[in-house]
Amino acid sequence: MSVVMRLFFWLDMVLLALALNIATALAGESDEQLAVAFANQQRNLQIQGEGLVSAMLPDDTTGSQHQRFILRLTSGQSLLIAHNIDLAPRIADLNIGDRVEFYGEYEWNPEGGVVHWTHHDPDGRHAAGWLRHNGKLYQ
């Protein structure tokens, strides 16, 4: 292997490690905010984070329809994601173990909390939320 190839390989490894450290730090920060919100039974908290899908739930079809699934955060806390599929597209290819990023409103509940408002607000009065799965944005 040439010196130039070794240098590029080393540089790639350093950049990958840096990216993983940044992602872990950001996930840790939102996990910490969510742990505090859970401990304080907080409501109406706009939060961004990510987790792994640990369970798929049936859609909530009462009133506005919501796609529902459970995310497990790095911290171990679980969150119910309630994604309004009347206002935003469903994540059709979602599976257990998939990573999902979110931005929405946290509401406390005894099981870990709910994140909703993961969509745009057609009236423009609420912060627009979103979900990101496999590089695709859902809002």
Question: Distance between CA 23 and CA 64 in Å, rounded?
Answer: 33
pLDDT of 100 strictly over 50: yes
Mention every residue, 6+ apart, whose C-beta is less than 8 A from residue 105: 44, 45, 46, 47, 115, 116, 117, 126, 127, 129
| Domain harbouring 54, CATH code | 2.40.50.200
Distance CA 6, CA 112 (A): 47
Give residue 71's pLDDT. Answer: 97
Non-local (6+) Cβ contacts of 1 within 8 A are 9
pTM more than 0.75? yes
Domain holding 10, by residue range, is 3-138
Q: How many domains does the chain have?
A: 1
